[in-house]
Amino acid sequence: MRGPHNILRLIRTGATLERTGAMGLILDEMKAPNALRVVLRTLAWPFRWLGEEGDPNMPPAPRALNALGPAYIKFGQILSTRPDVVGAEVAMQLRVLQDKLPPFPVEIAKKMVKEELGRPVEEVYSEFSEPLAAASIAQVHKARLSETGEDVAVKVLRPNVEKAFRRDIDAFYFAAKVIEFLSPSSRRLRPTDVVAHFEGVVMGELDLRLEASAASEFADNTKDDAGFTLPEVKWGYSGRRVMTMGWAEGISLADTEALDLAGHDRTELGARVLQLFLSHALRDGYFHADMHHGNLKVAANGDIIAYDFGIMGNIDEYTRRVYAEILYGFIRKDYRRVAEVHFEAGYVPADREVEEFARALRAVGEPIFGMDATRISMAKLLAYLFEVTERFGMETRTELILLQRTMVVVEGVARSLDPHINIWEVARPVVEDYIKTNLGPKAALRDFAKTAKVLGRFGPRLPGLVEAALVAQANPKPIPQPKRRLKDIAIGGAVGAAAVAAAWTATNIH
């Protein structure tokens, strides 16, 4: 229930933010009004003793979220994709948030495997290791299948993690509603949608069958991609709380020294990582949205191996075309076309001037492209673009945020492999190929064929549908209003007043 009982959780959250120094940083980054800043910090100070101290060796924002527990750690990871909400510095801190927690005992993991698969662990696996990695939602063990002798990775959910996450998500929704109520200007950033996105990501990760399905779909899409492989899902050894996949043997992309010793070409690897991501996003509309070093390895034959499919991105065909045109426009320095694309997609309100928006985009692009190739940064471009779109009243596009954030992460991986990489030159062939394939005459004919196919299915029904719509428009029916007794109105007013009072209290404390 998203109600006033969440105030205690928000008090603890605010106290921890204040005690770790994160509150001041976040308020600065969000450019909070001075009056609000004074009120929040004054009210939070007396409750500092309720807050967690956290690890003093960590930056303030990840320090606070680490101290608050798994749900906050995961929420911090999601917020790292939203520099438009929390500010660039906080987003950067959260991007390196260590999603590492103490593992739970291997005996508990074995018990959960037995309950999920219906067979003792010793019968399923001839070997089952201690946990190799423990995160906020699950931990991973290396095992060997009894039937085939194949090495596999077994992912097991933390005990009772679903209940813990649902409780904290409740508090997040309550806080978002309060923020929207007390600060109408914040609605442009869609706080409730941010929490809803977080809930969707987490709920997907809490059912490992969905992650296995995502891995399987991703493998189907990418099976013909040269130099890219995925571990195979072992469906017969997987369930809601347990997932078994083939073991990914290779060198982490973070270990550049080991890559050099193994004779891998880091320049080629950096370019391949970036081009693979763009190809998956534009060609398939389905991409690995957590492509950091820890989720990427290089096999002995040079193939890039991706794993951990808890966060996947999905964009529809129209949005892919919009994104490709925006990227292509920047690559060609055609700022007028970039501006037109924003208006055509409805991203910028129609009452704004296209020419004025194009000039603002030129101010974004020219300083970037005037840099030396080694300093051209997608991260800087997106940071500047956020500023411009905010000024022109563009609402946050939740379908693009994850894509943009992943692009920044992939850029970081590519630069760690090759510090001299020219991001735009590497991206150009993939984007140009997509533009030629999907925005030329052939694409128009393909779209027309799809439209004709749909009309063919519904053709016999079209006259009736049109007639029914015209009749409904000519004779609109009044919407019946439920009768409300005076007692009901009084109760509703009292509940509403109590909710407003609780929201005000919670927000000021938080």
User: Which structural domain range is residue 141 located in?
Assistant: 100-247
Answer yes or no: is 8 within a domain.
yes
Catalytic residues: 290
As a residue count, the chain comes to 510
Contact, 295 vs 307, CB < 8 A?
yes
What confidence category does residue 376 fall into, taking pLDDT thresholds of 50, 70 and 90?
Answer: low
What confidence category does residue 476 fall into, taking pLDDT thresholds of 50, 70 and 90?
Answer: low
Shared domain for 38 and 153, answered yes or no, is no
Q: Among 221, 247, 273, give the residue marking a domain's end.
A: 247
Domain count, the chain: 3
pLDDT at 343 exceeding the cut of 60: yes
Shared domain for 14 and 114, answered yes or no, is no
The per-residue pLDDT for 5 is 64
Shared domain for 113 and 189, answered yes or no, is yes
| CB contact set of 319 (below 8 Å; sequence gap of 6+) | 285, 399, 400
Of residues 181, 196, 197, 173, the one with CA closest to residue 4? 173
Shared domain for 219 and 183, answered yes or no, is yes
Maximum CA extent, the chain: 80
Least confident of 170-184, 244-258, 366-380: 366-380
Shared domain for 192 and 106, answered yes or no, is yes
Range among 89-98, 272-281, 409-418 rated most confident: 272-281
Shared domain for 63 and 15, answered yes or no, is yes
Of residues 426, 210, 438, the one with CA closest to residue 314? 210
- Strands (E) in 26-161, as ranges, are 125-128, 133-134, 138-145, 151-157
One-letter amino acid of 507: T
Shared domain for 54 and 127, answered yes or no, is no
Answer yes or no: is 252 within a domain.
no
Answer yes or no: is 347 within a domain.
no
Token pair belonging to 244: 């078994």
For all residues of the chain together, what is the average pLDDT?
A: 79
Answer yes or no: is 116 within a domain.
yes
pLDDT, tens only, 209-231 = 999 999 999 999 999 999 999 99
Torsion angle defined by CA atoms of residues 489, 494, 496 and 498, in that order, rounded to the nearest 10 degrees: -170
Shared domain for 80 and 210, answered yes or no, is no
pLDDT at 141 exceeding the cut of 70: yes
What gap in Å lies between CA 254 and CA 269, rounded to an integer?
12
The per-residue pLDDT for 270 is 93
Answer yes or no: is 63 within a domain.
yes
Q: Among 202, 232, 247, give the residue marking a domain's end.
A: 247
